[in-house]
Structure 1
Amino acid sequence: MTEPEFEKIVVSQDDKGVALLELNQPDRLNPIDPLSTESEISAALTAFDRDPEVRVVVITGRGRAFSAGADLRNKPKPRTEYDANATMPQRLAYDYSYGLMWKTLMAFKKPLIAAVNGYALGGGWELAHMCDLIIAGENAVFGAIEVELGVNPFATTTNYLPKMIGKHLAMELALTGKKIDAQEALARGLVNRVVPVESCLKEALALAADIAARPPLTMALTKRLVNRAMDVDEDYELERAYAYLLRSTEDTKAAWAAAAARQPTPRYQGR
């Protein structure tokens, strides 16, 4: 694969069949926005999926975070008139812009490994848990913090968490935005292993090389079977619809503005 030029991510691949995708805004904790970062990740993964030389992909974030989630302070510049003017129902109906990365992740046929150092919050945790394996540094922190922005968790989170850790703890994490550290994530079965911070990416790449050396068709079909058993995308469309609906409410707009300005949580009015 000829590696394309991106602004928000860096991609590379070795001669063992392992590709590396790095979020590359370390000074801002690698935020994810729908019009640039998501589009770049989607494009890179699509290229990797089509490249027969790539057998496994490792995703990580440069610097001291995997990804702290949504980009709240910098509104992405629309690429087209549609980007600027499309309504939330149009985005949902036509599957445009918002969500393309998530659909690419769900459809990705090859094994994905997340190497998580530091924060993996909101969309950052979603990006990690949509991978097939997670190697966590000792400093990793996970959180479904969408509630702090007035929206429900999405990108399969409301399906994934109850199946992984049970209804009651999933409710606590989703309703409060509680964060958990790497050791608790390991104890709950939410990561594969916890390693020293400086070894996180190295361990993930070693695991990727091990898997890449195995029969690629076997790996792809085994992944498909496990994902079918999990029904990972069962509630995806409903999650998106609810999140779009909530984005139109006064409470969620106030929550988003307060979080972007790093102001105290507003008093919510239920409208």
Structure 2
Amino acid sequence: MTEYERIVVTTDDKGVTLLELNQPDRLNPIDPLSTESEIAAALTEAERDPEVRVVIVTGRGRAFSAGADLRNKPQPKTEYDKNATMPQRLAYDYSYGLMWKVLLHFKKPIIAAVNGYALGGGWELAHLCDLIIASEKAVFGAIEVELGVNPFAMSTNYLPKMVGKHRAMDMILNGRKINAQEALEYGLVNKVVPADSLMKEARALADEIAARPPLTMALTKRLIHRAMHVDEDYELERAFAYLLRSTEDTKAAWAAAANREETPAYKGR
């Protein structure tokens, strides 16, 4: 496996690849020009490796991922990263990296082992996995409203289908956080386990799946994804989020969150 700066990837002799977000001191933030691109590259490599049967995604430290990296502006790696406008990114299907679509279309089973905070994009990373084992310390939240944007990696489609319209409205409009037990009750995770048993449980599940026929796993997974249609509003989600990022309110919200200041008074423009 390739070595990365912000993730650690290892594969065992049973065909289980472990992908760990590795910025524990910063709660494993996700930014599009580094972490997202590394995850996309690692998953692409795992998908092409015939020895890999299952992937486990987790975060080191006390967070799975607390979401967007607000304090460090990602450094562009190419001229396109540096200069592309929002309309160009939407038109050419390059939405600050393609991790979300790589996750959605990944052919092999993926298990999220959620060890702590899974917020914003961190929760979206988890729910785009196929199964979720949660530590009893896990906390989930679609908190993008605190930055003045809508969730834009399929949460606005996924959550209403999973928990119903009204509960999803409350979760998203108010950035409502839920604990692991609530997530289990709502059908948002498969299992809740003690924190010190999390990786043992995730590996046991991965070993069980890895022992099954890999082609059957891949094609069955594809059928279930088609039944869910969670990506049908993906481009619209991103278009709305990109539009909102051009508004005064969202710029103010983003700056306040980055500087850990009080929520600004919104003006509707």
Instruction: Assess same fold via TM > 0.5.
Output: yes
Letter in 2 for 1:250: E
Q: 5 Å matches for 1:200-211?
A: 200-211=198-209
Q: Which of residues 241, 247, 251 in structure 2 aligns to 1:249? A: 247
Q: Deviations over 1:63-90 (max 9, x none)?
A: 0000000000000111122211211111
* C-alpha distance in 2 between matches for 1:217 and 1:44: 21
Q: 5 Å matches for 1:73-84?
A: 73-84=71-82
Q: Residue 149 of structure 1 aligns with which residue?
A: 147
Q: Residue 238 of structure 2 aligns with which residue?
A: 240
Q: Residue 222 of structure 1 aligns with which residue?
A: 220
* C-alpha distance in 1 between matches for 2:19 and 2:130: 15
* C-alpha distance in 2 between matches for 1:99 and 1:223: 24
Q: Deviations over 1:68-118 (max 9, x none)?
A: 000000001111222112111111111225240001001100000000011
Q: Residue 61 of structure 2 aligns with which residue?
A: 63
Displacement of 1:247 in angstroms is: 0.8
| SS, match of residue 14 in structure 2 | coil
Q: Residue 120 of structure 2 aligns with which residue?
A: 122
* C-alpha distance in 2 between matches for 1:202 and 1:232: 30
Letter in 2 for 1:91: R
Letter in 2 for 1:131: C
User: Do the aligned residues in 2 keep the contact of 1:9 with 1:40 (CA within 8 Å)?
Assistant: yes
Displacement of 1:135 in angstroms is: 0.1
Q: Which runs of 5+ in 2 are unaligned?
A: none
User: Do the aligned residues in 1 keep the contact of 2:119 with 2:143 (CA within 8 Å)?
Assistant: yes
User: Do the aligned residues in 2 keep the contact of 1:83 with 1:97 (CA within 8 Å)?
Assistant: no
* C-alpha distance in 2 between matches for 1:104 and 1:98: 13
Q: Residue 132 of structure 2 aligns with which residue?
A: 134
Displacement of 1:12 in angstroms is: 0.5
User: Do the aligned residues in 1 keep the contact of 2:33 with 2:77 (CA within 8 Å)?
Assistant: yes
* C-alpha distance in 2 between matches for 1:126 and 1:239: 13
Q: Which of residues 259, 263, 266 in structure 2 aligns to 1:265? A: 263
TM-score by length of 1: 0.98
* C-alpha distance in 2 between matches for 1:97 and 1:133: 25
* C-alpha distance in 2 between matches for 1:213 and 1:107: 22
* C-alpha distance in 1 between matches for 2:263 and 2:123: 22
Task: Give percent identity, aligned residues only.
Answer: 81
The CA RMSD measured in Å over matched residues stands at 0.7
* C-alpha distance in 1 between matches for 2:4 and 2:247: 34
Letter in 1 for 2:111: I
| SS, match of residue 57 in structure 2 | strand
User: Do the aligned residues in 2 keep the contact of 1:35 with 1:97 (CA within 8 Å)?
Assistant: no
| SS, match of residue 8 in structure 2 | strand
Q: Residue 172 of structure 2 aligns with which residue?
A: 174
| SS, match of residue 192 in structure 2 | strand
Q: Residue 23 of structure 1 aligns with which residue?
A: 21
* C-alpha distance in 1 between matches for 2:19 and 2:267: 42
User: Do the aligned residues in 2 keep the contact of 1:23 with 1:30 (CA within 8 Å)?
Assistant: yes
* C-alpha distance in 1 between matches for 2:230 and 2:214: 22
Displacement of 1:145 in angstroms is: 0.2
* C-alpha distance in 2 between matches for 1:163 and 1:267: 32
Question: How many corresponding residue pairs?
Answer: 269
TM-score by length of 2: 0.99
Deviates more, 1:178-187 or 1:76-85: 76-85
Q: Residue 31 of structure 2 aligns with which residue?
A: 33
Displacement of 1:169 in angstroms is: 0.2
* C-alpha distance in 2 between matches for 1:215 and 1:232: 26
Q: Deviations over 1:222-249 (max 9, x none)?
A: 1011111111211111111111111111
| SS, match of residue 47 in structure 2 | helix
